[in-house]
Amino acid sequence: RSTPLYSRQRQMCIRDRNITPIFTQVPAICSGATLTPLPTTSTNGIIGSWSPSLNNEATTTYTFTPDAGQCALNTTMTININPKTIPSLFTPLAAICSGATLTSLPTTSTNGIKGSWSPLLNNEATTTYTFTPDTGQCALNTSLTVEVKVTPIPSLGQQQIFCTKPMPTIAKLNAIGSAIKWYNSANAVNSLSLSTPLIQGQTYFASQTIDGCESVQRLEKNVNIINCDV
């Protein structure tokens, strides 16, 4: 049989027709963002608890169950979790030769995500760059690899000794490689003509070109010219 206290509570709940707890809707968040614990007291004074546990990675409907002894109904709240957008369609950069100019990477993806790249651009080695979206955007990191073609220096040919007659020229120098070019210094811009006379004791520098890319480093070769008439 009902106790007098239970009867009075039941009569009050029937009279009040059970109260629906009221809560402020939690706005949608980005997947993985911090999800603040839900309040355990409704704005109209109902105390209770929520289930299941908060999930900041998937849209979930939570149920609020009032504590016993309150004339209140269960209620629910759905918190939407927005998936992170993948920054897309960064146009791949064509491979460059080592030392060539490397164009700056765009800071806005074609689907509107703004951010920055790291590490700093490197025009001497193939590098994978990471794009990090600016804060406040529901977006993932992405990456882009820029190929830098590094051509090795040519190999040293056989040792050479030149006679003063006939006058030896650049054409007589040997080095093993592809499309060999000779220079009068390690940093010279213009290569020497094959008809350029050799100078005794001068050091010459050879590059090679493979797949359209000339080696940045150069092979050193010292010239020894003797009088062969003696």
H helix or E strand, kind and range, residue 82: strand 81-82
Checking if the pLDDT of 15 tops 80, the result is no
Burial of 157 (0-12, 13-18, 19+ CB in 10 A): middle
Give pLDDT, residue 1: 43
Q: Which two tokens stand for residue 2?
A: 């009902």
Checking if the pLDDT of 189 tops 50, the result is yes
**How many other C-beta atoms are found inside a 10 Å radius of the C-beta of residue 81?**
19
Q: Which two tokens stand for residue 106?
A: 């765009």
Per-residue pLDDT of 17-74, as tens digits, reads 689 999 999 999 999 999 999 999 999 999 999 999 999 999 999 999 999 999 999 9
Sign of the alpha-carbon torsion through 91, 95, 96, 98: positive
User: C-alpha distances in angstroms, 66 versus 39, 80, 216?
Assistant: 12, 23, 75
Q: Which two tokens stand for residue 170?
A: 């650049």
8 Å CB contact between 26 and 79: yes
Per-residue pLDDT of 193-218, as tens digits, reads 999 999 999 999 999 999 999 999 99
In the numeric block, the tokens 């509570």 are attached to 9
Q: Point out which residues pair with 220 in neighbouring strands.
A: 205
Q: What is the DSSP letter of 85?
A: B
pTM summary value = 0.72
- Three-state SS for 93-130 is CCCEECCCCCCCCCCECCCCCEEEEECCCCCCCCEEEE
Q: Which two tokens stand for residue 198?
A: 């050799």
Per-residue pLDDT of 118-142, as tens digits, reads 999 999 999 999 999 999 899 999 9
pLDDT-derived band at 2, boundaries 50, 70, 90: very low
Give pLDDT, residue 93: 85
For the chain, the average pLDDT equals 90
